[in-house]
Amino acid sequence: DAKTTQPNSMESNEEEPVHLPCNHSTISGTDYIHWYRQLPSQGPEYVIHGLTSNVNNRMASLAIAEDRKSSTLILHRATLRDAAVYYCILRDAWDQGAQKLVFGQGTRLTINP
């Protein structure tokens, strides 16, 4: 499975933007970049995904580098509820198997009031 590298932890302040980086230098042409987050005492939840173009949804934005070797999850205005572990995961669109998610360690985001 293609691997991703994320910082172990990050800290930000409430109501400020947060940029969560992810490196995936061995990404293949058919790998989609997915982000999930896990709030305390809950299962992971889907945040956003993209292939080449930047993507926006109600939760976040995903900025993908032109060479696709890195990406950044952007929370435009962090709230205390955004404190969670954020996982950057590659999923191969050509994989005919389980399409399972392979989680790394993720980035633990702390939001200061």
Which positions ≥6 away from 88 have C-beta within 8 Å? 4, 6, 20, 22, 24, 33, 34, 35, 71, 73, 104, 106, 107
Residue 69 or 100: the one with the smaller Cβ distance to another protein is 100
Give the shortest CB-96-to-another protein separation in angstroms. 10
Q: How many residues does the chain have?
A: 113
Choice from 104, 109, 112, 113 touching another protein (CB under 8 A):
104
Tokens 């939001």 correspond to 111
Distance CA 68, CA 72 (A): 11
User: Near another protein by CB under 8 A, which window of 13-21, 36-44, 53-61, 62-70?
Assistant: 36-44
CB neighbourhood size of 11 (10 A): 11
Report in angstroms how near the CB of residue 44 gets to another protein at its nearest: 5
Residue 40 binding another protein, by CB under 8 A: no
Q: Which of 5, 105, 110, 112 binds another protein (CB under 8 A)?
A: 105
Choice between 46 and 79, CB closer to another protein? 46
